[in-house]
Structure 1
Amino acid sequence: MMDLPHILQTRYTTKAYDKTRRIPEETFKQLVAALRYSPSSVNAQPWHFIVADDEAGKQRLAKATPEGSALAYNRGKITDASHVVLLCARNELTESYLHSVLEQEEKDGRYQDAKARDEFAAARAGYVQQHKTAGDVAHWNQKQVYLAQGFLLLSAAMLGIDATPIEGFLPEVMSKEFGLAGKGLTPLVVVALGYHAESDNNAKRPKSRLAEKVLFSKA
């Protein structure tokens, strides 16, 4: 039986990776599934994930942490990890994109009939319109991407994979490298994945969190 509290207490943010160790492909496929099946508001799935699973790909991501910059401390985490994922948010939720989501839902058997499909499509469009009116669609989408990051980090811990979420990179460099602006995407966070090196001093530190009585109260 899985000991979830133990997993939560022992997972941590890795500071240095063993570049000689690689995540087995079958294991990495499970992490891809964790991202794909992450929850999102009204199932909009407003994200795109760029995977670097070889040296060339990791070097492309590492361009956003250039040598000599204030962000160079994150460079080794990207280049030495086994796999690295860049999580991006959609800047908009266009009618054509939402229609493609609807088509996939219908293909997957989400709707009992056309009436049920059309009713949900209208409801989703209503929520999206609320955010368009408020002018915060991009921000709404970005919050969904962090749900996916949480799923990825927990899934990695459950599979015995070390991970590092990284916001310390130059988004404009990342956007230029992958042509993200033209694709309507904003780079939000990088997650490095692999196995920690012996030099990773964070691996030996006890986890510290505020007490339950500080963090929780009864309604």
Structure 2
Amino acid sequence: MDLSSLARSRYTSKAFDADKKVPQAQIDTLLNLLRHAPSSVNSQPWHFLVAGDEQGKQRIAKGTQGTFAYNEPKVLNASHVIVLCTRTDMTEQHLQNILAQEDQDGRLRNADARTAQDKSRRGYVSLHRHDQKDLQHWMEKQTYLALGTLLFGAAALGIDATPMEGFDFRVLDEEFGLRGEGFTSLVLVSLGYRGEADFNAGLPKSRLPLESVVTLL
């Protein structure tokens, strides 16, 4: 696989073919990519809602009504839509769950390693909670790492994707009871196959020159 060609060819689809569905096996692959996405100190402050039928997409589309109506067809005509959600707090229970999973998966060689790992992660949480006072933004940054993983994975599978911040997160948080579960919706990603109305498919990709964004030291 030529990664450079893949990066040059992927783009944000503006219209989907409502009659084409992404095979479930490929959706499962993308969900595993999300699960294995990197995050600072393995904090994993995310949850993903996945809609693959009309009822689920209709519920998500509630967040695109009114001001964000231009995004509604991208939700309803897609094969699948994923809501990437972020924690509203780094809770004690979540920290304990991560540590227990690392222990179960064999990442912690002994009690000292377990203590050191827990102390390191808690140190970063404390830094962002108390010193930099940007804990929510820090957790959102981790979720965007998952977003990048998802978009590149979709491109590798030949699946078109549309990431969207244009939706009312308050509507979706209420629709899915996210706040009560300790999450808030952050970004939507529609997945499927481009339709004939996708004007973006025929446009050349535009990025700043390499020398203007990279400095070799």
Asked if these proteins are the same fold (TM beyond 0.5), I'd say yes
Match in the other structure for 1:162: 160
Amino acid at match of 1:197: G
Offset at residue 145 of structure 1 (A): 0.5
**Is the partner of 1:23 in helix, strand or coil?**
coil
Q: Give the deviation of 1:92 after TM superposition.
A: 0.8
> Out of 79, 87, 91, which is 2:84 matched to?
87
Q: Which residue of 2 aligns with 1:62?
A: 61
Paired with 1:71 and 1:132, the residues of 2 have a C-alpha distance of 32
SS at match of 1:12: coil
TM-score (norm 1): 0.96
Q: How many residues align?
A: 216
Aligned with 2:206 (options 202, 205, 208) = 208
Deviates more, 1:13-22 or 1:122-131: 122-131
Compare 123-132 and 37-46 and name the one that shifted more: 123-132
What stretches of structure 2 of length at least 5 have no aligned partner? none
Cα drift, residue 218 of structure 1: 2.0
In the TM superposition, 1:30-49 aligns within 5 A as 30-49=29-48
Q: CA deviation at 1:70?
A: 2.5
Q: Any idea what SS the aligned residue of 1:48 has? A: strand
Opposite residue 120 of structure 2, the aligned amino acid is A
1:26-50, Cα deviation, whole Å (9 max, x unpaired): 1111100110000000001000111
Q: 1-side partners of 2:160 and 2:2: how far apart?
A: 17
Alignment of 1:108-123 (within 5 A): 108-123=105-120
| 1:72 counterpart letter in structure 2 | A
Distance 2:214 2:119 in 1: 37
What residue number does 1:96 align with? 93
Describe the superposition over 1:68-99 as per-residue Cα deviations: whole angstroms up to 9, x where unpaired.
x2210100000000010000110111111100
Scaled by the length of structure 2, the TM-score of the pair is: 0.97
Q: State how far apart, in whole Å, the 2-side matches of 1:44 and 1:144 are.
A: 8
**Equivalent in the alignment of 2:176:** 178
Structure 1 window deviating more from structure 2 (114-123 vs 144-153): it is: 114-123
Residue 130 of structure 2, aligned match among 118, 129, 133: 133
Q: Distance in 2 between matches of 1:109 and 1:193?
A: 34
Q: Structure 1: which 5+ runs fail to align?
A: none
CA RMSD across the alignment? 0.9
Whole-angstrom distance in 2 between the partners of 1:132 and 1:104: 23
Aligned to 2:196: 198
Partner of 1:39, secondary structure, is: coil
Deviation at 1:113, TM superposition (A): 1.3
Question: Structure 1 runs of 4+ off > 3 angstroms?
Answer: none
Task: Please give the alpha-carbon distance, in whole angstroms, between the structure 2 residues aligned to 1:139 and 1:199.
Answer: 36
Aligned to 1:17: 16
